[in-house]
Structure 1
């Protein structure tokens, strides 16, 4: 499903009225509905926006996978900047933040 809407288009300026004037859910690939186009003014303060509605929930990494990625990134980062002292610096970082590198 897609959602077309007519939204305030200036994020740096507070909206004087409603942030979303009208919105409508349509099937994938459908053109902008007439209910939105009829209220759209070219050069106005509102823009036609398209949102893709996610039907799948966000998948989170398990703690083990997070721990592997964090440790791999730490090693890569330290080996890039200080390869001579890498073992000592990695051990220090693991001692400072053990919970973080366990994936919590």
Structure 2
């Protein structure tokens, strides 16, 4: 595993220059490199940031798993807010957005 240290603009509002001044990839657990720390000035709006670079591929959910999760979350949400009319409201939502509750992404 590798870590990426960078010096990035973090103050609200527009960035006066480059959004990222410096960056370097190091082995996990190593301190911030001198090439990044030497450019950092306290209060200037830039912050030393660390990103954890992962070599594992992103695992996407199947449509069936997304559909089951979306239906379960809908039922939980409706039962919490309006338990008396839950069946009717769930049915309305399922008919209004059938593709979403079948696990299809809106792309």
- Tell me which interval the TM-score lies in, with the shorter structure as reference length: 0.7 to 0.9
Normalising to structure 2: TM-score of the pair? 0.85
Q: What are the within-5 Å matches in structure 2 for residues 14-53 of structure 1?
A: 14-53=14-53
Q: Which structure's CA Rg is the greater one?
A: 1
Q: CA deviation at 1:27?
A: 0.2
Give the unaligned 5+ runs of structure 2. Answer: none
Partners in 2 of 1:45 and 1:76 — Cα distance? 43
Deviation readout 1:38-90 (Å, 9 max, x if unpaired): 22222323221111112222221100001111111111112122222222222
Say which is worse superposed, 25-34 or 79-88, in terms of deviation. Answer: 79-88
Judging changes above 3 Å, is the alpha-carbon distance between structure 1 residues 20 and 68 closer, same or farther for their aligned structure 2 residues?
same
* Alignment partner, residue 7 of structure 1: 8
Give the Cα separation in 2 of the matches to 1:90 and 1:76: 10
Could you list the runs of 5+ residues in structure 1 that have no partner in the other structure? none
Residue 102 of structure 1 aligns with which residue? 102
Q: Secondary structure at the match of 1:55?
A: coil
SS of the equivalent of 1:22 reads strand
How many pairs align?
A: 103
Larger mean Cα displacement after TM superposition, 16-25 or 40-49? 40-49
